[in-house]
Each structure stands twice: as C-alpha cells, then as structure tokens.
C-alpha cells in the first residue's frame, strides 16, 4: 500500500548461516567467496575514503590536528552546524510523525502523490535545493525584496542554512516511520479509542512505544545528513568565516587555503560524529531486536 | 497520574520546539545585529560567552564589549586574496583604532569571483567588494547596489594592485616551456580553470588570445584554432583558480599551470623548490578592482569606514602588504622596492586591446562566444 | 478498502496531521520548488527549448545520466551481494560492515569527493596502481562513476536488506526438495521477489546520482562535452548571472527526478498488489 521502503533494515531477525539448514545454504567455499567479494567492495568504496581522511588528518602529527579542530573558526562552524541540526531535526521529526500518522492510519485520495512528494527532496539535486531558496528569498527573488525592506535576513544567514538543511533532510523521519506504522496497522489504536482514550494519549501511550526505535533511527539518520550537507548549504551560505560557515563549508575553505591537513582534521571530526551516529544506531537496532523477542 | 505523564511529554515537546524556534530567531537576530552597530557588541559578547573559545574575531572580545561604537565590515572577495586580506585586515584594524578609537571587525568571504558577485546581488550584505574583474562589479550596478561610475571612486581604475598571468612549471622546466607557443605543442598538458566559472581563467584566456592574435596578424580563424589546440591540451578544467592549483601541485597533473602571478608565487612559497615560474613574452595586465557597495554601506552606516578601508589599500602600508602577498603595487616607491620580484613584460590591457569587459565578456565568454566555439565545434 | 474508510476515521487526528503535513510540505518543499517554475517562466518556450537542448547541455545530460546509470547498475549487483552476505552469513566484523553501509549517508559529500580524488588521482593509492595499466579514474567519467557508486550504495543495500530478511524458507525448501541447485533456486525462486526492491534501490541511487554535486566536482575533470555534469552546468549558468537559464536546466533535472520517483512508487504499488493477491 505504501510507496516507501525503509531506508534501513530495522528488523534484523537473527538468521545466521549456521542456523540455516544445510541444504538451504551455499557451500563453504561459495560463502567465503561471496563474503570476500562483498568485503573487498565495501572496503574499496567505503572504508578506503574513510582511511584516507584519517591518514591525511594525522599526516603532520597530533599537534597540527589539535590546532585545526580547536581553531576558533572551526569551533564556530561546529556551533553553527549543531544549531542548524537542533532546529531542522525536531521540526522534520514532528512533520515525519504527523505525516506518517495521516498516511498510515487513514485512507484518502492522493495518498500516493503525497508520498511521492515527501520523497522528492531525496531526488532533487542539492544544488537545486539551495537555489530555490535564493529564488524565493534572494534580493531579486519573489519575496526577497519585501523581506529585505523589513530587514528579515534569510539567505546568506542562519535561517537560510536551516531551511536548505530542512529541505534536504525532509524525508528521513517520514520515510522511516511510514513503512513501520504500515505494518503495525490500526488495531492497537482502535482498541485504545474504544476504551475511551483521547487523541494525544493514543499516540503517546499506544503508537509511540511501538515505533520509538524506528523514530529514533530516522532522527539519527536525519541528524547525520543535516550535519553533513554541503551542496545546498554552500549555495545559501555567505561563506563568511566564523559567521555562516558550517563544518562542511569550513572543510572546503581550509582545503582551498592549502591547509590540506587541517581540512582533513576537521573532516575527521565530522566523520567521528557520523561514526557515533552509526554506533548509536547499532545499539538501537540491538534494542529493537531484543524488544521484538520479548 | 498517567494522564499527567502524557501531558508532561506534550509539554516537553512544546518546550523543545520553542527552544528550537527561539534559537532560529536568535541567529536571525545575530544577522540583523551585524547591521546595527550598537547591538553588535552585545551579540559578540553573547556568542563569546556561549562558548569559551568563541572569540572568533582577531581582537579580544573584551574590548569589543567595552567599546560601544564598534563596527563590523564585510569584505566579499575572490579566491586568491585570502592571504592578502588576512594580513591587510589586521593592519587596518590597528590603523582604524589608532585614527578613530573605534574597533572594527572585518568579516571575510571568499569564493569564485562570479559566484561572490552573484551572492551580493542576491542579498549578501557586503560593505565592500574586492573582486577579480570589473565585469563582476559592473553586474552589481544594474540593481543599484553600486553607483554606475564606481571605477572613478578610487585611483587607478579603482584597482589598488595589479597582477598578471604567468606559467608555473615543474622544477627544471623538463618540457622546456618558455612562451604561449609552447602550450599548443603535442604532449604538453596545460592546467587552467574554466573561464565560465573562474575570473582568473578569463584573464588566462584573453592573454592567450592576445598572444595568438599578434602571432597570426589578427587572423581570427587562426587565433581560434590556437585556442582550440591549447584547450585540447587541458586535461582537467577546474571551476576555480584554487582548484587548478591543487590539481597541479597536489595531484601532480599537467606540465604547466596558467596562474595569477600571486597564486604562482604563493604555490612556490608553500611547496618550496618543486616549481619554477616562467614569465611569457606577453601577458595581460589584470586589474582586480575594489568598490564600496553603496546601498549596503549607507543602510548599515558603514560608508566612512568602508571608504577608509579601501583607501588604506593605496597607502604605503597597504601597498607593502599587497607586494608581500605578490600583488604588483601601484605606488612607485613600493614597486621599486619589490622590482626584482616582478619582472617587466609586455602587458595587454582589457580596455585597449579587448574593448573593455562588457565587450570581452560578450565576445568570448557568453553563451555562443568564442570559448564555446573552442569546445563545441569540431 | 473503501469500506474501511468509515471504520478508520474512528482514530482521531486525521485533519490536524494531514493538514499539518500538507502545510509543512508546502512551505518547505512545494513553494520553493514553485519558485523555480515561476523563475523559468521568464523564458519564452522557444528560448526554454533552446537552453535545455543546446549542445553543451545535452552533453551534460549524457554524462550525468550515463554515469548515474552505470553507478546504479554497479550498486545493484554489488549492493545485492553485500545485502545477501549481511543477511544470510555470519562472519567476524559483520556488525561493523553493516554500520559502514550508512557512512555515505552521513559523510559530507565534499569530504567524500576530496578523499576519493586523492585515492584515485594518478599519484593516489589506487590511481598509482592503475596508472601504469593505462587506466585513468580521476578526471574521467569513470571517476564520476566511482563517486556515484559511493553515494548510491546505501540506497540499494538498505532497500534489499529488509526484503531479504522477510523471505520465507518454504519456497527454497521446496526447490531444494525438487533437487534444484542453489544457483538455480536463487534465480528461479529468490530473484523474482528481490527484483522489486532492486529496482527501487536502483531508481533511488540513479536519481540521487543524476543530481549529485559535492562529491563529483572534485573528481570529475569538469571538461565541457566530456566530464561536465548537469548540476555543475546549473552552477555555471548561475555564476554568469543567467538565472532563467539555470532554472530552466534545473527544471529539466527536477522533472526527470520526479518522473523516476513516480515510477518507483507506481511500481511498488503494483508489486504490493501482486504480493497481496498471491
């Protein structure tokens, strides 16, 4: 019924090879071959770039590294990045929950179109996602001149960066919740309503416990992307050092100033944030798996 | 009891959202505060109290808070001037403090010259622009941001320093590249950015064009042919001058890099003896212009300091800093001092040899111009 | 289904959640995208057509579409393999590998671009191995493809994984009892069920690849007609102050993405219906 697919496997049912009956499994040789190919592929595509970042970051030793990440500009970039994520992620989470509720608990016309539109930011080029806000709020934009007159600054200031980030991370939570809530149906909630529970209570007491891990996972992915977005933010940021530079932009600036080591050092900081994110995600998946069996 | 806890969750959500919205507004105010000088200090001290290392400005924020008249200036510039303005801003801040007692904080934004001009056009509130070519500043006059005759506002076409295009080759010049004619030979790899996106690359292109034109006795077909051959030797066309330098020095691609003179010297300084600079027989006089963005400066009340800032570029101190950062100074006494650094060579000028920027832009770089022909036809 | 409508409305909050969703969607996504259409209307139709079909723009579509297509195909093959290995086999470090798959989602694209360029440039770790063989990766369409494989991998793995989890053993069991080999079982029994998520993953990776900018500009040589991608051309037009041309090309990209997404969703509805009837 739903047009969306979960971005990630949220239900790691343990199904390891040694539990599978022998006749339903590949021979040991084939298994090792397949695992090796998969590992080499992931190694080449994902691990190698990460290794490069780390090696380059420490090329000139620990001291240069510490200098780079404690630079005032780097810290203000980190602060801006966190601010942006702090605003964009909760708003998108609220939207994701509302949209998932409407889409999965009710039937209505145009549902499929709505789902497609929610997915749209995934497929829109980041360049375009930044550009549309310039077209809207820029000095030559549609409502920009009016806003300029009243001294509301959107583009080339923090609100523009937040908006562009919200656009790019728009679908993450909704996309995670819709398939999950779809499979859970409406029985639980209906039972609660028939017992006299009201609106919010149904959501917080019945629905939320069922979806909390999926929700958290969506939030985490949304957050990771919000902190790492480059293309869209680059278009709407004024690139002013210490003012409107996010971490990814700060990395680019350092790279352009021949400070390759420093730029990779800051990049490793972002990578660390991503790794923390993924570790938290791993813990969540584990919890989900155990909460399922109990 | 149970109802209470669910209410608490709602309350929590609402508060969380509120905080989120507030912080959005707060940052919005930050942007606004920059325009009104009186509250700028408040925001500066607020942001520095938010994080212990938040004193991003070059001077301690304590003085900012104590000085009510402190003012902020935004200089929107192009890529290769990062080092120049870092040094220059420090010097100007001291100078202004001594002259007026006022603390000025200068914010810098760098990027491709065209992209930077577009940002100002789209509402980035720059007080001064210091770009790669007059055409980019001209584009700001149409919407009334800058007055039409801006080039008369300061001396020497409002270009306090000049530069030119030179070749950067690998140590020992293994391919024996001496002049533009060598660039079209077989087996030579030339690195230059894309003239469509990079101001510096336009100077490169015009210098090459000028050389070919002289060689071929103004036969335009032959000149185009020369450029076609030249660009056939270009393996990577980066979007900006810095990208090209990175490709040449870090990735070690190409035999020769067409670069701003200052960029070539800087690469040599950063990378020591790996490179040599070759000065061709003929090049172009690049005049990176500066201008006060009238509309923004008047609105923000920064005209006085903005004009003083640009004028300071012409003083012996400013010229000295420009020369130290490998820009050719205008002031004779400073030029004499650094004359070993800048060899004399034949220089074409944009106004005399190419009929000004508007003309050159239309003929060469607009859609369907000669650059497009070089790439698309044949 | 229609009979359920009344029944379903038993639950509260339909109007407020739907209303809020649509409002938020409009504010953040639809109105800004509408600005794109409005700005493009500054061009007349022939001008629009001329812009979006000029030689260099056509060449950039070709580069963007072909590299994205090729990268998505690579991801379908290897993404399936990775998902298969992660779901069905047990090996040391499996959890870590599983976590790493999300890395391209989280790593800033510019960092990925810079890192990949330094690996695959002729003096990089891999580039220096391939260079003597005459294979050039960085600054060629192959380099763009490498970057897009990186960007697109999680899309395929994460769409195939859950389906692979849910597949029941019965059919495989039956196939095995009938004496089919594993490979034959895979082809005849498992693959048909895996095709819908593979197509979805493919389409997602493909449409993301067409629009990708941050990671690609570093590794592609940006040569007009050869390695110039469409998003770069949009930026190029913007920087020449050609707003309406930039938006025209952006609109074409947007329409391609939207068509692809509609295709995925229709396809999924179709497979869901098929699954339900079977």
**Nearest-Cα residue of chain C relative to residue B122:** C241
CB contact (8 A) between residue B237 and residue C222:
yes
CB contact (8 A) between residue B53 and residue A72:
yes
Task: Give me the pLDDT at residue C272, please.
Answer: 67
Rounded Cα distance, B119 and A130, in Å: 12
Q: Nearest CA of chain B to the CA of C238: how many Å? A: 8
CB contact (8 A) between residue B30 and residue A258:
no
Asked whether the domain spanning B164-285+345-376 has the same topology as the one spanning B34-161+289-329, the reply is yes
pLDDT digits (tens, 9 = 90+) for B209-234: 999 998 888 888 899 999 999 999 99
Q: For chain A, which chains pass the contact test of at least 3 CB pairs under 8 Å?
A: B, C
Q: Nearest CA of chain A to the CA of C155: how many Å? A: 7
When pLDDT is averaged across residues B115-136 and rounded to a whole number, the result is 91
Confidence of residue A5 (pLDDT cuts 50, 70, 90): very low
Rounded Cα distance, B224 and A195, in Å: 83
Confidence of residue B275 (pLDDT cuts 50, 70, 90): very high
CATH fold, domain B164-285+345-376, is D-Maltodextrin-Binding Protein; domain 2 (3.40.190)
Q: Nearest CA of chain B to the CA of A201: how many Å? A: 6
The ranges assigned to domains in chain B are 34-161+289-329, 164-285+345-376
A136 at C interface, C-beta within 8 A: yes
Percent of residues, chain A, with pLDDT higher than 90? 19
Query: How many other CB atoms sit within 10 Å of the CB of residue B60?
Result: 10
Query: How many other CB atoms sit within 10 Å of the CB of residue C82?
Result: 29
Instruction: Domain of residue C2: give its range.
Output: 1-40
Q: Which of B24, B54, B240 shows the shortest C-beta gap to A162?
A: B24
Task: Give me the pLDDT at residue A199, please.
Answer: 75
Mean pLDDT lowest among A155-159, B62-66, B104-108: B62-66
CB contact (8 A) between residue C225 and residue B375:
yes
Nearest Cα residue to B64 out of B19, B108, B33, B26: B33
Q: For chain C, which chains pass the contact test of at least 3 CB pairs under 8 Å?
A: A, B
Mean pLDDT lowest among A159-173, B228-242, B304-318: B228-242
Is B24's pLDDT higher than 70?
no
Rounded Cα distance, C103 and A53, in Å: 13
Write the burial class of residue B377 (CB in 10 Å: 0-12 exposed, 13-18 middle, 19+ buried): exposed
Rounded Cα distance, B172 and B178, in Å: 12
C275 at A interface, C-beta within 8 A: no
- Residues 57-96 on C with a CB inside 8 Å of B are none
Q: Are residues C79 and C17 in the same domain?
A: no
Decide: C149 and C70 in contact? Cβ < 8 Å.
no
Q: Are residues C76 and C10 in the same domain?
A: no
Q: Are residues C101 and C90 in the same domain?
A: yes
Task: Give me the pLDDT at residue A146, please.
Answer: 85
CB contact (8 A) between residue B253 and residue C121:
yes
Average pLDDT of the residues of chain B:
81
Token pair listed for C71: 């990268």
Block mean pLDDT (10 aa), chain C, length 278: 49 86 92 88 87 88 93 95 90 86 82 89 87 86 94 88 77 75 77 82 87 86 84 84 87 87 77 62
Write the burial class of residue A70 (CB in 10 Å: 0-12 exposed, 13-18 middle, 19+ buried): exposed
Token pair listed for B247: 């490709």
Tokens 């969506």 label which residue? A218
Task: Give me the pLDDT at residue B43, please.
Answer: 37
Task: Give me the pLDDT at residue A142, please.
Answer: 85
Angstrom distances, CA of residue C104 to CA of C109, C157, C247: 8, 12, 28
Task: Give me the pLDDT at residue B29, please.
Answer: 37
Q: Which of C1, C161, C165 shows the shortest C-beta gap to A107?
A: C1
Task: Give me the pLDDT at residue A22, please.
Answer: 65
A255 at B interface, C-beta within 8 A: yes
CB contact (8 A) between residue C106 and residue A98:
no
Confidence of residue B20 (pLDDT cuts 50, 70, 90): very low
Taking contacts as CB-CB distances below 8 angstroms, the residues of chain B near C239 are: 112, 114-115, 118, 196-197
Nearest Cα residue to A217 out of A206, A225, A205: A225
Task: Report CA B242 to chain centroid distance, whole Å.
Answer: 11
C257 at B interface, C-beta within 8 A: no
CATH fold, domain B34-161+289-329, is D-Maltodextrin-Binding Protein; domain 2 (3.40.190)
C85 at A interface, C-beta within 8 A: yes
Q: Are residues C152 and C33 in the same domain?
A: no
C56 at B interface, C-beta within 8 A: yes
Q: Are residues C121 and C31 in the same domain?
A: no
Task: Give me the pLDDT at residue A96, please.
Answer: 93
**Nearest-Cα residue of chain C relative to residue B198:** C239
Is B105's pLDDT higher than 70?
yes
Nearest Cα residue to A94 out of B17, C26, C14: B17
CB contact (8 A) between residue A1 and residue C269:
yes
Rounded Cα distance, C97 and A47, in Å: 9
Nearest Cα residue to B237 out of C100, C221, C12: C221
C110: CATH: 1.10.3720.10
CATH fold, domain A22-293, is MetI-like fold (1.10.3720)
Q: How many domains does chain C have?
A: 2
When pLDDT is averaged across residues A268-274 and rounded to a whole number, the result is 83
Is B367's pLDDT higher than 60?
yes
Q: Are residues C15 and C135 in the same domain?
A: no
CB contact (8 A) between residue B24 and residue A73:
no
């Amino acid at each position: 019924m739903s047009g969306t697919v979960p971005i990630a496997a949220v239900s790691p049912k343990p199904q390891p090879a040694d539990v599978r009956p022998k006749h339903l499994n590949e021979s040991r040789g084939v298994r090792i071959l397949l695992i090796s190919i998969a590992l080499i592929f992931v190694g080449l595509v994902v691990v190698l770039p990460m290794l490069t970042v780390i090696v380059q970051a420490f090329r000139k030793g620990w001291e240069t590294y510490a200098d780079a990440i404690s630079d005032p500009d780097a810290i203000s970039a980190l602060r801006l990045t966190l601010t942006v994520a702090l605003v964009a992620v909760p708003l998108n989470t609220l939207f994701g929950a509302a949209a998932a509720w409407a889409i999965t608990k009710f039937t209505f016309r145009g549902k499929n179109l709505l789902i497609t539109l929610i997915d749209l930011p995934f497929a829109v080029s980041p360049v375009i996602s930044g550009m549309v806000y310039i077209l809207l709020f820029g000095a030559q934009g549609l409502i920009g001149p009016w806003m300029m007159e009243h001294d509301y600054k959107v583009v080339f200031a923090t609100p523009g960066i937040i908006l562009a980030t919200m656009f790019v991370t728009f679908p993450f939570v909704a996309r995670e919740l819709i398939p999950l809530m779809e499979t859970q149906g409406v029985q639980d909630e209906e039972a609660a309503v028939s017992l006299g529970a009201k609106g919010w209570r149904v959501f917080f007491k019945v629905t939320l416990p069922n979806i909390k891990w999926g929700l958290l996972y969506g939030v985490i992915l949304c957050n990771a992307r919000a902190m790492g977005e480059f293309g869209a933010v680059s278009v709407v940021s004024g690139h002013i050092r210490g003012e409107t530079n996010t971490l990814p932009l700060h990395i680019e600036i350092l790279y352009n100033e021949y400070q390759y080591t420093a730029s990779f050092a800051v990049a490793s900081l972002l990578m660390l944030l991503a790794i923390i994110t993924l570790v938290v995600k791993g813990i969540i998946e584990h919890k989900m798996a155990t909460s399922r069996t109990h | 009891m149970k109802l209470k806890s669910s209410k608490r969750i709602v309350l929590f959500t609402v508060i969380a959202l509120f905080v989120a919205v507030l912080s959005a507004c707060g940052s919005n105010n930050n942007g606004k505060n920059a325009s009104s000088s009186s509250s700028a200090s408040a925001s500066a001290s607020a942001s520095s109290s938010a994080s212990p290392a938040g004193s991003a400005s070059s001077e301690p924020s304590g003085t900012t808070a104590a000085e009510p008249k402190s003012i902020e200036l935004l200089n929107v510039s192009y890529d290769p001037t990062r080092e120049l303005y870092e040094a220059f801003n420090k010097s100007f801040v001291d100078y202004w403090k001594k002259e007026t007692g006022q603390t000025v904080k200068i914010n810098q934004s760098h990027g491709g010259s065209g992209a930077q001009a577009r940002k100002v056009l789209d509402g980035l509130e720059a007080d001064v622009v210091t770009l790669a070519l007059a055409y980019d500043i001209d584009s700001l006059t149409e919407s009334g941001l800058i007055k039409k005759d801006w080039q008369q506002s300061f001396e020497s076409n409002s270009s306090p320093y000049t530069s030119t295009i030179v070749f950067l080759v690998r140590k020992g010049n293994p391919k024996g590249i001496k002049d533009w004619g060598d660039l079209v030979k077989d087996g030579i790899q030339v690195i230059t950015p894309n003239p469509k996106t990079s101001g510096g690359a336009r100077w490169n292109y015009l210098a090459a064009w000028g050389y070919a034109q002289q060689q071929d006795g103004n036969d335009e077909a032959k000149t185009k042919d020369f450029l076609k051959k030249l660009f056939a030797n270009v393996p990577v066309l980066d979007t900006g001058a810095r990208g090209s330098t990175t490709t040449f020095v870090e990735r070690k691609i190409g035999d020769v890099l067409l670069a701003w003179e200052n960029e070539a010297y800087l690469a040599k300084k950063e990378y020591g003896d790996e490179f040599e600079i070759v000065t061709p027989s003929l090049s172009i006089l690049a005049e990176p212009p500066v201008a006060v963005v009238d509309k923004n400066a008047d609105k923000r009340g920064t005209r006085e300091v903005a004009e003083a800032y640009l004028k300071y570029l012409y003083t012996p101190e400013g010229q000295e800093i420009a020369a130290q950062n490998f820009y050719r100074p205008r002031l004779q006494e400073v030029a004499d001092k650094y004359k070993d650094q800048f060899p004399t060579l034949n220089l074409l000028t944009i106004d005399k040899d190419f009929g000004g920027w508007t003309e050159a832009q239309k003929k060469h770089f607009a859609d369907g111009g000669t650059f497009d022909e070089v790439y698309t036809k044949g | 289904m229609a009979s359920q409508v009344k029944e379903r409305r038993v639950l509260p909050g339909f109007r407020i959640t739907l209303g809020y969703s649509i409002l938020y969607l409009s504010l953040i996504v639809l109105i800004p995208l509408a600005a794109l259409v409005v700005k493009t209307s500054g061009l007349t139709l022939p001008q629009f057509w001329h812009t979006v079909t000029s030689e260099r723009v056509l060449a950039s579509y070709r580069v963007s579409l072909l590299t994205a297509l090729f990268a998505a195909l690579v991801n379908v093959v290897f993404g399936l393999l990775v998902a298969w290995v992660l779901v069905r086999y047990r090996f040391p470090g499996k959890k870590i590998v599983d976590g790493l798959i999300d890395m391209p989602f989280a790593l800033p694209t510019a960092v990925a671009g810079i890192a990949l360029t330094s690996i695959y440039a002729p003096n990089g770790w891999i580039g220096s191995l391939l260079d003597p063989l005459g294979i050039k990766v960085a600054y060629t369409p192959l380099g763009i493809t490498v970057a897009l494989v990186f960007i697109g991998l999680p899309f395929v793995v994460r769409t195939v994984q859950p389906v692979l989890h849910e597949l029941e053993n019965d059919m495989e069991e039956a196939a095995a009892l009938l004496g089919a080999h594993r490979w034959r079982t895979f082809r005849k029994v498992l693959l048909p069920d895996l095709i819908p998520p593979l197509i979805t993953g493919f389409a997602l990776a493909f449409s993301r690849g067409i629009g990708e900018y941050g990671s690609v500009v570093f590794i592609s040589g940006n040569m007009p007609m050869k390695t110039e991608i469409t998003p770069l051309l949009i930026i190029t037009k913007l920087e020449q102050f050609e707003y309406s041309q930039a938006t025209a090309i952006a609109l074409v990209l947007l329409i391609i993405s939207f068509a692809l997404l509609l295709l995925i969703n229709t396809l999924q509805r179709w497979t869901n219906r098929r699954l339900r009837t079977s």
